[in-house]
Amino acid sequence: MPRDAAADSDKDHPLPVRVPLATEPLGIFGTLRAGRRNVLELIPEIATHAPIISNTRGKRWHMIMDPDALRRVLRDRVEDYPKSDVTKLMLAPAIGQSMFIAEGQEWLWQRRTAAPVFSHRNVANLAPVMTAAADRAAARFAAAEGRAADAFDEMVTATFEVISDVTLSGGESFDRDAVHKAIDAYIGQTAKISLLDIIGAPTWVPRPSRMLSGPGMRDMKKMADATIDRRRSDPAAKAMPDLLDLLMAGEDPKSGRKMTTEEIRDNLLTFIVAGHETTALTLSWALYLCAFDPAVQTRARAEAQAVLGSRSARAEDVPNLPYIRQVIDETLRLYPPAAFLSRTAQKTDELCGREVRRGDTVILPIYALHRHKKLWSHPDRFDPDRFAPGHQTDRFAFLPFGDGPRICIGANFAIQEAVIILSTLLARFRFDLIPGKSPKPVMILTLRPEGGVWLSVKSA
């Protein structure tokens, strides 16, 4: 269908909430305002039509939406495109030199050491924690029947329960509330773009906003170090090891190297920061979309009830809930938690026929990629059937977890958790939109629903 005809047909088709993309140049201060308000507003609307957009005046950058170019950056020449300096400046205060930030050999040995932690067997063994969190979330929604509930707040609670239980099964004086507050403060302030980032100031120039959350992050790290030291001094055997046990036992199969307390802590905090926020967002947006499209919700509920009956979902149910998985994939397409990534070119290259110089910033606007007019039919619509069995989506047109060697190590964990919790809730409840309370998609570090996801809750 020609693009204009497709656009016209969308006029009479309700669309879920979207980010208004830029339609004119923003300038330095306009860029700063947009970046601090909502990073996705930096993306020009033309990015949903073009394969690449470049800026060669001042701070050079290239925004790529072409799957072949993305394949080159993320897989074929991944060593030439490390995470950008801005990304490292934002994340290092929280997660140090964990595998999420580390590069080259330092990243490689950590990845090899941690890979068995997220094996299919270990992820499946952690499913009872997810089932228990789904049960507790269902109990909270049952208490809210007949009135409004903030699904975002509920899903943050559920996924934080999961990540804290699977990383630190014993609790061990680990103050979960303090950790949660420190992470929230960090994301709310430290992760915002600085004017110094925009003008390309050297990384050694202090960013004042990133100094404010220092005490909370330092306290969180001290707490984690103490927990690791206690576990080392009293390695009590457990029927089921948690992620901390597995990290402490892990070693690089090539060198035999094991992680130090600092390295374990940085990776543990990476799992905690990334492991609850991203899944909570996916579940929140999925519940919003199911309320937005009652027909999808009805179909998903029928599948969940047929498989689960009156019980909560377990790991062995996940393969039998394909439509729930389609809903989750379509949610990740429309509202990818990591919706805006950036890399720094280390060598001269060519992408989509454009010269890329050493030091250029290469932006991967996942939000625009997932709504690109040439890659998706009616890209702003909510349509889980686009992920039905046999779909022919280019692998590098759908990147909610990245791809290549640095694909998210916890992707299978996140999908299993999302399917277990979403199917359990949809089997028991009907969720409806509340007029005038639509969430607003706003990205700082992750794509959050500003104002929450307020839904009315009724027994199914």
Degrees (nearest 5) of the Cα angle 255, 259, 261? Answer: 160
**Helix/strand/coil percentages in the chain, nearest 5:** 55, 10, 35
Task: Collect contacts of 97-103 with beta carbons under 8 A, ≥24 apart.
Answer: 97/263, 97/266, 98/263, 98/266, 98/267, 98/269, 98/270, 99/267, 99/270, 99/409, 100/270, 100/274
Provide the token pair at 437: 């309370």
| DSSP code for 402 | B
Neighbours of 111 (CB within 10 A): 15
Counted residue by residue, the chain has a size of 460
Given the DSSP bridges, would you call strands 354-356 and 341-344 parallel, antiparallel or unpaired?
A: unpaired
CA atoms of 166 and 153, how far apart (whole Å): 20
**Residues tagged active-site:** 278, 401, 408
Per the CB < 8 A criterion, the answer to whether 333 and 398 are in contact is: yes
Per the CB < 8 A criterion, the answer to whether 328 and 287 are in contact is: no
For helices 176-185 and 214-233, the axis angle rounded to 10 degrees is 140
Name which of 387, 341, 450 is nearest 73 in CA terms: 341
Q: Can you spell out the DSSP letters for 89-113?
A: HHHHHHHTT-TTT--HHHHHHHHHH
| DSSP code for 313 | P
